[in-house]
Every structure is written in C-alpha cells, then in structure tokens.
Amino acid sequence: MRHLQDYYFFKKIAETGSIRKAAKSLTITSTALNRRILALENELGTEMFERLPKGVKLSAAGEVFLHHVREQLTDIEKVKSQISDLRGERRGHIKIACSQALLPFFLPNQINLYRNQHPHVTFNVQRRDRKAAEQELIDMNADIAVVFEPELLTDFHILSASKQPTYAIVSKDHPLAIKSKIKLSDCIEYPLALPTKEYGLRQILDRKANRAFYKLEPVIESDSFEFLRYEASLGKCVTFQIEVGLPKDLSFMNMTAIKIDEQDLPPGEVYVGQLKGRTLPVAAAKFAQQLVSTLESN
C-alpha cells in the first residue's frame, strides 16, 4: 500500500506547514520527501502546496485532497480493526477529544479498564473543550469526543448525554467541609477560584448567579482545573467540579467535595459523540460503548 505512505507524508506536511519539519518527524530526508510530493502532484496534475519563503501552504486542490486523505486513512484503520476482530484479537488506535474535567481521573480509568481486555489497542487523547472537540471530529483527528456542555452540535452524533451535578471543592479544614449539601450562595461567602469563562462549568455557575441577582467575583481564575483544585486544597478558596471529574477519594489530596443542591444549581451534561455519518473502527466503537455504559450507569 505505497499510496498510503504517501498519504501519511502528505498529511504530516499539511499539519506542520513545512516539508523540513515533516521530514524530521517522519525520519526521512527533506529531499526524498519533496520528491514524493512532487511525484504525487505530477500524478494528480496540479500543485497540492504553495511553496512559501518559510514553509508551505495547502492550495485549494490540496484542501480537497487532504479531506480525501483523512477519510482514506480513517477507513484503513477501520478495516485493520475489523480484520483483527476476525482473528479474535482486537487491535486499533483510538483518538479521543476530551473535556479537561474528565482527563485526570475518569478517562485514565476507562482506558486502563479497556486495555486490560485489549492490550494491543493504543490511544491518543487530546484536551479539547466544547467547540474545539467537534472540529477535531470533522477534521478526522478524533474518533470520539467526550465533552461537557458542548457549544455546537451540527456535525456531532450524540451517543450519550448524562447529567452531571456540580460539587464545591474545599480543603478538609474549610468551614464548609462539615456540610453534606450546600447552595451556591453558601460558597460566595468565601474566596472563589473559578475556571475561565470559556468553560461550560463556569457558564453554568454564571447563569445561576445572574438568575439569583448576585455576582461571582473570583480571586483566582484559571484554565487549569488541576491548578484550581490545588489552590483550594491550600486555604480558604472554594472551587468547583462536576461529579465525573472527581476521584473516588479526595482525602489524600487534603480536599473534600460537597454536592451543590440540584434544585439550586441544575446539573450540566456530559456528551459522548462521534462525527455524523461516520462508521467508527471496531476498537473505537467498542470503547465508545464502554464510555456510554459507564456514564449512564452512574
């Protein structure tokens, strides 16, 4: 399948915007790689790249061809996975775009569970929230997206939507730590460490504050949930996380999670999805089923 190798080469150049950088990544000389691309362009009868002083840029024809390349490479992975299943040995490579909240605990556990049964399957996991996750599906850079409160669903085929209540995260010696359930208004009496406004969890918190006519004024904002959790563990700050983003035991991190009353703050939703109209490779489809089953059983 020599043409597939040319497809991999073409895709890498398109991703890096440079024949030299692509060649280094592919462990091939830039001269040899350029010859392969020139031969491909000669076969297709048009230039796929515009040669620039610093790198290359896809031509209009190159954009069309890149879409074809992505589809072909995705299809061959699906075929490989199906052939492996015929031998009773599931192989494959699963690409996931995932919201930050699910990365530290939920997704590693799910991957570990799956690979215990199918050790030949490999994974690529990228942190992508909301709009960016759907774009990764469209670009064929991800097989599955797992996102909290996504913005766009035009090309997103929903496999599952599970409700996720919000928890306040505080240090074990925080005054709120003794409570089993609280309201958001209880939290605003203390310094707040909040995710930045592009995140779905922050928008849920802001909507509630606006409806209740009070203002959330964080002393710390960050796009890192790990940073916010650690900050909360050190002192009097309150931060927030959805249920699926929490470990089973927070005590080793000097933290406590307190559920916010769902009547006060309605749950958000975690979506598992794939690109509309696409048939997933067997390994990815089976892993998606596992995610759906786990989320819907909680």
Shared domain for 292 and 221, answered yes or no, is: no
As a whole number, mean pLDDT of residues 11-20 equals 90
Shared domain for 156 and 239, answered yes or no, is: no
Domain residue limits at 94: 90-163+269-297
Q: What is the pLDDT of residue 6?
A: 86
Question: Above 70 in pLDDT, residue 2?
Answer: no
CATH assignment at residue 138? 3.40.190.10
Q: Is the dihedral of CA 187, 190, 194, 197 positive or negative?
A: positive
In a domain, residue 213? The reply is yes
When pLDDT is cut at 50, 70 and 90, the band that residue 86 belongs to is low
**Structure-token match 């958000």, residue found:** 268
Q: Are 165 and 245 in contact (CB under 8 A)?
A: no
The Cα 201–Cα 101 span in angstroms is: 9
| Phi, psi torsion values for 250, nearest 5 degrees | -95, -5
The Cα 270–Cα 129 span in angstroms is: 11
Shared domain for 119 and 32, answered yes or no, is: no
When pLDDT is cut at 50, 70 and 90, the band that residue 152 belongs to is low
Predicted confidence (pLDDT) per residue in 214-226, tens digit:
889 999 999 999 9
Predicted confidence (pLDDT) per residue in 31-69, tens digit:
888 888 898 888 889 998 998 888 899 999 999 999 888
In a domain, residue 77? The reply is no
Shared domain for 139 and 8, answered yes or no, is: no
Q: What is the pLDDT of residue 190?
A: 95
Shared domain for 56 and 191, answered yes or no, is: no
What's the domain count of the chain? Answer: 3
Shared domain for 42 and 99, answered yes or no, is: no
Q: What is the pLDDT of residue 129?
A: 81
As a whole number, mean pLDDT of residues 121-144 equals 89
In a domain, residue 226? The reply is yes
Predicted confidence (pLDDT) per residue in 255-265, tens digit:
899 999 999 99
Q: Are 188 and 176 in contact (CB under 8 A)?
A: no
The Cα 132–Cα 141 span in angstroms is: 11
In a domain, residue 72? The reply is no
CA geometry: angle at 201 spanning 230 and 254, to 5°? 20
pTM of structure: 0.71
Q: What is the pLDDT of residue 89?
A: 54
Shared domain for 176 and 246, answered yes or no, is: yes
The Cα 45–Cα 49 span in angstroms is: 12
As a whole number, mean pLDDT of residues 16-26 equals 89
Question: Above 70 in pLDDT, residue 88?
Answer: no
Q: Which residues contact 104 (CB under 8 A, 6 or more apart)?
A: 225, 226, 245, 247
In a domain, residue 85? The reply is no
Question: Above 70 in pLDDT, residue 87?
Answer: no
The Cα 149–Cα 159 span in angstroms is: 14
Shared domain for 258 and 172, answered yes or no, is: yes
CATH assignment at residue 51? 1.10.10.10
As a whole number, mean pLDDT of residues 104-111 equals 93
Q: What is the pLDDT of residue 290?
A: 95
Shared domain for 158 and 277, answered yes or no, is: yes
Average pLDDT, the chain: 89
The Cα 145–Cα 143 span in angstroms is: 7
In a domain, residue 48? The reply is yes
160: how many CB neighbours lie within 10 A of its CB? 18
Predicted confidence (pLDDT) per residue in 156-209, tens digit:
899 999 999 999 999 999 999 999 999 999 999 999 999 999 888 999 999 999
CATH assignment at residue 248? 3.40.190.290
Q: What is the pLDDT of residue 82?
A: 74
Q: What is the pLDDT of residue 1?
A: 59
Cα separation values, 150 from 36, 122, 133, 243, Å: 40, 26, 8, 17
In a domain, residue 29? The reply is yes
Shared domain for 61 and 207, answered yes or no, is: no
Higher-confidence residue of 230 and 76: namely 230
In a domain, residue 75? The reply is no
Q: Are 59 and 74 in contact (CB under 8 A)?
A: no
Q: Are 197 and 203 in contact (CB under 8 A)?
A: yes
Cα separation values, 27 from 9, 31, 73, 151, 212, Å: 11, 12, 20, 39, 59
Shared domain for 290 and 250, answered yes or no, is: no
Q: Residue 28 carries which side chain, given as an amino acid letter?
A: I
Shared domain for 216 and 176, answered yes or no, is: yes
